[in-house]
Structure 1
Amino acid sequence: MLDRRRKSFQKFHWTRKRLRTENRLLRQRIDYLEQESSALADRLIKGQVNLAQEAENCMSISHELHKLRDINSDAHRRLEEAYDTIRELSCKKNDGCIDTATQVDDTSMIEHIHALQQELIETHVREADNENSIRDLKQRIQELELSNKRLKERPPDDGIAGLQEELISVKMREAEASLSLKEMRQRLAELEQQWTKYVQIRMTDGSATVRSVFERTTSTCNENPSASSNAENSPSPTPSQVGASQGQQQQSSPQLSSSAPQSARQRLAKLTASLIGVASADCTDGGSESVRELEDQLMGVRIREADTVAELKEMRQKVMELETQNHVCTNQLKRQDEELKRLREERDTSLQKEKEIKEQMRDERRKAIEAESELKEQSVMQRLKYSEAMQHIADLKQAIAHLELKKAEKWTHSQLRGSSVCDLDDESIGALGSRQSVTSGDALSIGSEDLTAIIADMTVRVPDLGDDILLAAVDEDGSATETEDRRAANKHKLIDEDGNDTTDSGLQMSDGL
């Protein structure tokens, strides 16, 4: 009986050690989760610190810009003062009405002017440098403002969102683990109290049973010495049994340490089975058997209750983890849906822009084709007009040649008629007058008028032919007029000679008479 009680106590001790190891593992896990949460919090804090540093940089740049503006305004003011002093000195130099005592020496004036010029050059250089620096700072400020705007408008990255979700899940798991740990501690304290009560009750019951057994053995020893000797030899190996139980405990401890950690539910089930077996084995008395069975059943029920509570906690922990995973997955799906919508909108806008660009290209191609067709039509019309003008010029040249032939024929007829005095009648005079009018250029004047009209018509019809054809026509007209003038002069000379001949012949006739 004592050995069995010791074994049960040792098993309870082992279970308590297991629970302590589980408690230690839970504490380690909680510490790991706390470290992870602190690391995530540090990362978030670093991100916020970086944003604050960027804001401070923006503020410092704005302060530097204000300082540079003040420096620039001061430089402008000093430059205006220098210009004013130069104007005053130039006015003093030009007036020349100042007293000799108050006038400045020429050398000192020149040196002062050179110094002012040098200062003016330096101020110009500084002003240019300040303008360049201001321009650079403005560009930097614009870039920082754009980057800040993008950071504000842009949603958080997947990394930051994932870290936030992980932090939330870790905190939830930590809270759940802390609650489960507190409940397990309370439950273990209750079980320890109940076990101590149960052990005390059993110890009292065991002492009574031991006394009754000892009395029975003494009575039997008086009746049967051999039986008494056997009875005395039987309780003697209890120390050896205790040593064996200790050896078994020492052997079982490395096995437990080497074996994989079992779940709390299995350990509690084994504990209940062992306790129920011990309780059933210890029940020897008939009167207290029912009470002990009830107590054993009560302890088994309580242990099973603890087992179910532990299992319930594990299931709740799993449910919490699954809920956190579901929350994380839903957030990821939402972000992916938003990203997909944004990409679709960008695709639609790009397709719309592409369509607009294609339509513009089609319009430009159509306009280019229309312009090419118009240019081709204009070139064809110009060629047709040019060919018509050349044909008209050829016709005019033929008409001029025909008129020149007629003129030559008339001149020969007039020469033949003017050789004798008898042919000089009124008709010949009229013919001569007509010849004179022809030689004087009346007919040719009509031709020249026609030529000018035709040339004007050509210029109106063909504005792009150039001046070569017109110059050629004018040259031909001028040469024709020159030849006509020469012929007219020759004809006048011949007529004068004919007139002289007629006068001479008349005189001779008068003399003869």
Structure 2
Amino acid sequence: MEGMLKYFQKEMPSKCETDPDYLINLALQVKYNSKKVKKLEKEYTALKAREHEEMVELRRLRTENRLLRQRIEHLEQESSSLADRLIQGQVVRAQEAEDNYIIKRELAALKQQELTVQQELEKAHNHIKELHEAQTQPSSMDSQAEDLLKSLQGELVAVKLREAEGQETMRGLRQRIQELEEENKRLRETTPDDSVANLQEELIAVKLREAEANLSTKELRQKVLDLQAMWEKHLSEKESQPENQLTPSRWRGDKSQVPQLQEELMTVRLREADAMAELKELRLRVMELETQNQVSLNQIRRQSEEIGKYKKLSDCVVSKERELHSLVQDEARKLTDLESKMKEERMNARIREVEHTQIIAEMKQKISSLEIKNQELLTAGQLRGSTESEEVKELQDKMSDLKAEKFRLELPSPILPSLLHPSPLTPMGWDSGLGLERL
């Protein structure tokens, strides 16, 4: 190769410059064998065709390998996604159990609070009964006390209505908790469906057929081995027997050709039986692989169905959880409204109490001034004599009337502190007016 390059680079240009027709004459002098060229061309085309076939086969194998890898990756992704969904379902169940426990605990607290409220209501009812018995005495109440009682009764009716609404919402929450508990119990006690049982029966039947086929194949293989052993024994015995020398050579050749053909026929039949046994084994193997494929497909289908069920169940649980959360928020909002209203009512009651105390103080001042006037009149009467004793008696009657009025005004004052300053056990002062409904 280096010599050719040197020739074309150094010697050839000088020759072309000196003799331009040198290359043309040299090319005309070259002779080639057409048969050899055609043979080389055929070999080249055959070589290219083989290379092309090998490239096609290589591409096909690469594509199959790539598809198989994609299939494996897809199956791995599906298995990982199924595992993630299963874990998510377990987490959702755990969260649901925790929420149920919290709701039960809140329900127990509400029950305890309801019991305490009922006890306070009974105490308030007894206290109001005592006050009612005290009010049925001959002394009558004035108009302001009656107005106060009517307003307290109206407030009591409003509080009763709010309490009924709270009990209704609590009843709804209890019913919702019971439904969730029944749903959890039903999910725990669910049994596998009929499709799983049918698949199990089908798998048992396939296993039985496989066992029968294996047994028949083994028996056939044993029979073929026995026949081969018998045939080989027969051939060895026949070869050991000496030929009869008395028979003519022509007859001996004809008689020896027939057993040889029979031996070849028997050998071919044995090979055919062996091939049939191998074919049955291969078919059995194909059937096993198809069965395994069907079982795996059924497992994948069942897993997808279970995943769909778990997904629907998780959606239902999430929706129920949202509903419960909204109900809890509504209850909290109602509770805050009720607390604000009760605070306003307490402030109004305190204002009324202050007004009543002011009125009582004014009446006391009037009584003290009248007592002073009475003393003055008594001293003046002692000076004037017995003629003016009737005027003193009138003033004493007025004093007794004023004292009676003072007693009537002071009578509601011990009731108001019990209504306006509830005990610490009563929530938001409900016991201050709930028992007045029976008056």
Question: What range describes the TM-score normalised by the shorter chain of this pair?
Answer: 0.3 to 0.5
Higher alpha-carbon Rg: 1
TM-score of the aligned structures, taking structure 1 as reference length: 0.33
